[in-house]
Structure 1
Amino acid sequence: MGMSSGIHALTAIDGAVSHTKSLLWPFRAGVWLRLAVIALFVGGFGGGFNFFSFPDGGGHAGSGMPVDLFAPGLGVAFLLIGIILILALVFGIIGSIFQFVFVDCLASGEVSLSRTFGMRSGKGLRLFLFQVVFALLMVAAMIVALLAVFLPVQGMGAPNLLALIVLVPAAVLILVCVGVVLMLTTDFVVPVMIRSDCGVIEGWRHAWAFIRPDLVNAAAYVVFKFLLAIVLGLIALVLALVAAAVIAVPLVAVGVVAGIALGDAAVPVYLLLLLIGIIVAVPVLLLVQVPFATFLRYYSLGVLARFSAEYDLLKSPAETGAVQA
């Protein structure tokens, strides 16, 4: 095990740029499309649903009668929510597996969605469970702290108010810690699990062995990775907006002409143009993020290699560039 000199977060940038350029250029449609699919899943997903948000406060219908939980409308709503949650669960598990597949692709230079998917499914599931359990434990800790503040019968007295003032920054600190742990799990522990063929907890033990002696570099990486993600995210957003505008302008022009020529009868044309726009825009917007997602993953792998040569999974840029289209 060895470490390079300097700030790893800075010295790894050039290598990440070189690897990214070698993998993505010259342009190969197959490589970009497969990376776009991977980026879709490893990029994460969000959104939430309030199960208790009903008209008139949620406890009664507007007539003052209790809500019938078996009413057809509510049944459909719960069914849709259940389907969405199941899809989100499946999406999350696939995304966790693709974290490993992504590293396999970049380490080998062979960009494939299926080559190691089955082999990494067990590790991906363990990663997903670890992330969920860890996040839930942190949320539970925050809820317990909130209850400790609000439950006492004396109400919002001075001690409780003081506790609340302390609790808010503490909650923010917990959220930051959760984000850091999950980021390091993805960036460092996933490659360690691949190289050492181990689970998440054992992977963290291996990772902590080289992080603990060099906490300054670890902190620098966390801060710089966060700043890089913001900057690259803004650039990707601008490019996505430009791409969306390029796609939308001709479609809107056709829609205007159709509206003038057909009047109310142009509604089917509008729907067709909307469908065409979605079909064209989704893959284009996914392709826009490919170089940014690829660079950031190469960057984290490069930093990991500087923490410990034992976990250097990257080939030289020349070798990585020898991919199949």
Structure 2
Amino acid sequence: MEYLRMDAVDDLSDAIDATRELLLPVQVGLWIKLAIVVFFIGGSLGMSGSVPAGDVGPVADETAVDAPIDEIPDKIIALAAVIVVILLALWFIYNALGAIMEFVFVESLRSRAVHVRRYMGQNLWRGLRLFGFRLVLGAIALGIVAIPALSVVLGTSTPEAALESLIPFVLLAIPVYLIYAILMRFTSEFVVPVMLLEERGVLSAWRRFWPTLTGNLGQFVVYLVLVWILQFVINFAAGFVILFGVVAIAIPFIILGVLAAMLGEIGLWIAGALAVVALVVVLLFVALVQMPIRTYFQYYALLLLGDRNPELDLISELRTTIRADSDRHDENGRNGRNGPPETDNADQSDIGGNHWDESDDTDTPLWDQSDDSSDWDSQDEEDDADGNDNRGW
């Protein structure tokens, strides 16, 4: 009986080795740049703070009693409208940058060198198309639930009847969100690498990935289950690290802010500046904690994708390296259990294909060519020219 290869399980340990190859020994520049990228693409940071559902009713009732809408000054309404517009604009900018950073992240893991400006310039249009795809898919998912729910609510006569009529739509929202979450994960983890590797659009990359998905459905189902379980456990542990870290960071800033506030009006400005600095430090700390986790799960997805379809393998050389190292410590061998057959390095590099070549200056955006002395990329380019595996600034 032929041995059934469960790459979705075997690749868990290989992803650890791949993450170790990239992040160890620790290089401050590489860690910080990857943390900034992860800040934009998200690292399972959880839902943003909002008013709990149970508190919405009392807040609305109090507002209705104490401040009728007709008595609210026009300036307050205008200010609220401006704030909403600014928040929406920031949301669009953040998510658009996040879509572009998806390609920066995958390319950084593939090349094991982080050139943020260069990769952003090379993938600007792909990132914007990914952002548009996410907007459309999110609008469809929201519309499936929200539009019929709103029509039913508007047809009810009492608040109690409206709440009762929403129950079926709450139940409908569960499978809709589940499907949406799976599509978003597969798009980020598998379709984005295909877009990057073969220079495709979102829909074209989905069509390219679809036969691999349907032909190995069991592998990807196991992948989903393992990822959800691992993310729950790892993020639970990371949550404690983040909590204690945030408290440790906040204490000195709070002390300095209180002392500054005692200086009078100028002290309040100093305290405000300290609050901004504290927020930046906290966000960077959280991103640094999440970065290795996000790196691990992305490598896990890339390994599974390449094992199931060698033509879509972005990290063939890294795969060969980590499995050759595992062979020296595993008497059963792991190089031949899955993935593309072992060949020489020249052939392996051809499988991944479409590597960004340092000599391809024609695709480099103008803002990347004009500032060769930037600390952001220049040191990387010098190390690449020397043939070193750059991992610093």
TM-score range, shorter chain: 0.7 to 0.9
Question: Deviations along 1:156-178, whole A, 9 cap, x unmatched?
Answer: 9xxxx7x9665443321111011
Post-superposition offset of 1:151? 6.5
Aligned amino acid, residue 31 of structure 2: W
Question: Deviations along 1:278-297, whole A, 9 cap, x unmatched?
Answer: 45433233222221111111
Residue in structure 2 matched with residue 323 of structure 1 by the alignment: 390
Residue in structure 2 matched with residue 82 of structure 1 by the alignment: 85
Residue in structure 2 matched with residue 27 of structure 1 by the alignment: 26
Residue in structure 2 matched with residue 169 of structure 1 by the alignment: 171
Change (3 A) 1:82 1:273: closer
Confirm or deny that 1:236 pairs with 2:238: yes
What is the percentage of aligned positions where both structures have the same residue? 27
- Secondary structure of residue in 1 paired with 2:103: helix
Change (3 A) 1:82 1:274: closer
Residue in structure 2 matched with residue 282 of structure 1 by the alignment: 283
Change (3 A) 1:190 1:59: same
Post-superposition offset of 1:38? 0.4
Residue in structure 2 matched with residue 226 of structure 1 by the alignment: 228
Tell me: higher relative CO, structure 1 or 2? Use CA pairs within 8 A at least 6 residues apart: 1
* RMSD of Structure 2 on Structure 1 (CA): 3.8
Change (3 A) 1:55 1:67: farther
Post-superposition offset of 1:123? 0.9
Whether the aligned pair in 2 keeps the contact of 1:97 and 1:125 (CA below 8 Å) is yes
- Secondary structure of residue in 2 paired with 1:242: helix
Whether the aligned pair in 2 keeps the contact of 1:39 and 1:286 (CA below 8 Å) is yes
Aligned amino acid, residue 12 of structure 1: D
Residue in structure 1 matched with residue 206 of structure 2 by the alignment: 204
Change (3 A) 1:166 1:62: closer
Aligned structure 1 segments of 4 or more residues deviating by more than 4 angstroms:
44-50, 53-61, 147-156, 163-167, 249-256, 263-267, 272-276
Aligned amino acid, residue 73 of structure 1: I
TM-score normalised over the length of structure 2: 0.68
Whether the aligned pair in 2 keeps the contact of 1:195 and 1:311 (CA below 8 Å) is yes
Post-superposition offset of 1:235? 2.3
Give the Cα separation in 2 of the matches to 1:104 and 1:16: 16
Whether the aligned pair in 2 keeps the contact of 1:16 and 1:299 (CA below 8 Å) is yes
Residue in structure 1 matched with residue 346 of structure 2 by the alignment: none
Confirm or deny that 1:72 pairs with 2:71: no
Residue in structure 2 matched with residue 291 of structure 1 by the alignment: 292
Give the Cα separation in 1 of the matches to 2:68 and 2:133: 46
Aligned length: 311
Confirm or deny that 1:312 pairs with 2:301: no
Give the Cα separation in 1 of the matches to 2:156 and 2:282: 56
Give the Cα separation in 2 of the matches to 1:139 and 1:5: 40
Q: Which consecutive unaligned segments of at least 5 residues does structure 2 have? A: 52-56, 323-387
- Secondary structure of residue in 1 paired with 2:207: helix
Aligned amino acid, residue 136 of structure 1: A
Give the Cα separation in 2 of the matches to 1:91 and 1:250: 29
Give the Cα separation in 2 of the matches to 1:131 and 1:120: 16
Q: In the TM superposition, what are the counterparts of 1:95-174 in structure 2 within 5 Å?
A: 95-146=98-149, 167-174=169-176
Q: Which consecutive unaligned segments of at least 5 residues does structure 1 have? A: none
Change (3 A) 1:153 1:230: closer
Whether the aligned pair in 2 keeps the contact of 1:61 and 1:67 (CA below 8 Å) is no
Give the Cα separation in 2 of the matches to 1:249 and 1:145: 49
Change (3 A) 1:239 1:56: closer
Aligned amino acid, residue 124 of structure 1: G
